[in-house]
Structures are given as structure tokens and as C-alpha cells.
Amino acid sequence: MTDALSTIKGLDRGLLSDQIYDLIKTMIKDAALAPGEQLVESQLARKLQVSQAPVRDALKRLAHEGLVTHVRHQGNFVAEYTDEDAEQAKVARTALEGLAGRLACGRLDAEASARLSATIEAMHRAADDRNLTEFRELDFAFHRSVIEASGNTYLPRMWDIVEPSLRSMHVLGDPQFAGDWHIVADWHRSLLDALEGDDPEHAAELFSAHAAGLLLGEDGEGIAAVAAP
């Protein structure tokens, strides 16, 4: 069991199961808990200074979302993913982001546009510094902001389910990407330009292509496969 939990001084009494769920989910998302790592109820309860019941409830929720795998007679483990899992996650992300792009197109307010633009500039600074961890977080922040800008209250919930898997499988923000990270940031500028335009179908197409690892040319033609985060 990771030492990260040992830094937790205690949780507010209240909805313990929800708090533990959020904590473990964040640790999986941030790779503080590695794929395949066993999650022992009694150890978690002891480190968090709670009973095992809310820990058990939290692990059941995470198993339902696919972030934890329950193996009969063995226990709970942080989910591990196959190449097929990664491909399915990419398909889900492509559909989700295409829809978000369509819905968000033309409805960004000044604050949302400024926030997305600032995120892109921060991505360029992170690329200059070769700080790929920061770049990856900004990449996730950009896409999360677009999901929220869609105006559909269900899309952020769906993103919350998909995001930890995207992180674990490097379906988004692949740290092994060997290309120019400034170009990746520029792709996000193209995505923002599409959102600030008045063609929802073009925005949907561009976001879907980006999520699928494809890049549209400036004229919208000649989609080419790329190794894109």
C-alpha cells in the first residue's frame, strides 16, 4: 500500500463513503495508486481512521465505474488495462468530445474563452520548460473546460468516469509522445478557434478527430493519422 495515505490526518465526519471515494479516485487518477495495486479494506480503514463500511462502499462504487477490479477470494485491485481497453476508451472519448464540441460551439462567454486561451499559453510555457507533467495537466484542464462549456450537465459526470481511465492508459496526454509539444498546444488553439466560430458540425468534427488521434488540415480536408496526445 502506498505511503500517500499515511499523510491523511483524518476526514470530516459526514459522508465518509463519498469522501473516501473521492480520495481513492484522485489517487488512481494521479497514479499515486498504480494499476494492479491491491486495495485492502482493513488497511485503508486503519490509515484513514474510519470503519471498514464506508471504505467498502467506496470501493464498490469504484468497481462499478471500472477503476477498481474485485477478484473473488482475493480482494480489490486498481484496474489494469489492455490494448483493447485503451481503444474502447479512445472511442468513448471521441464520441464525448465530439458532442461537447458541437454543443459548446458559439456559446463560449468571454470568461470561458479567456480561460481556454490562458490554458493554451500555459501549455506553450510548459513545452518551453519541457515540463510534460504540467503540460499533461493543462491538456486535461482544457478538455474538461470544454466539456463544462457544453452546457449539458451530464457530460461532466461522464467525463469524470472516463478521465481516470484516460490518464491510466495515456489515451490523453501521452507522456511518451515524441513530437513537438508546441504543435500539440497549437492544435488546441485550432480547437478553441472552432468553438468561437459558428459551425457546430465543424467543431464536432475537429474535436472528434483530435480525440481519435487524427488531425484536420486547415481546409478541413485530408485527415491524417498522427501520434497525438
What is the SS3 assignment for 171?
Answer: coil
Q: How many domains does the chain have?
A: 2
Residues 71 and 101 in one domain: no
Residues 130 and 187 in one domain: yes
Residues 151 and 211 in one domain: yes
Q: Tell how far CA 23 is from the center of its chain.
A: 16
Q: Final residue of a domain: which of 31, 59, 78? A: 78
The pLDDT-based confidence of 220 (bands split at 50, 70, 90) is very low
Q: Per-residue pLDDT tens for 178-219?
A: 678 899 999 999 999 999 999 999 999 999 999 987 654 333
Residues 100 and 63 in one domain: no
Residues 106 and 219 in one domain: yes
Whole-angstrom Cα distance, residue 185 to residue 119? 9
CATH classification of the domain holding 56: 1.10.10.10
Whole-angstrom Cα distance, residue 199 to residue 211? 19
Averaged pLDDT score across all residues of the chain: 84
Residues 137 and 175 in one domain: yes
Q: Per-residue pLDDT tens for 141-156?
A: 999 999 999 999 999 9
The pLDDT-based confidence of 174 (bands split at 50, 70, 90) is low
* Domain enclosing residue 204, as ranges: 83-225
Q: Final residue of a domain: which of 49, 78, 107? A: 78
Report the DSSP pairing between strands 224-225 and 214-215: antiparallel
CATH classification of the domain holding 203: 1.20.120.530
Q: Which of 52, 1, 46, 44 is nearest to 23 (CA)?
A: 44
Q: What is the 3-state secondary structure (H, E, C) of 67-108?
A: CEEEECCCEEEECCCCHHHHHHHHHHHHHHHHHHHHHHCCCC
> Whats the size of the chain, residue-wise?
229
Residues 62 and 132 in one domain: no
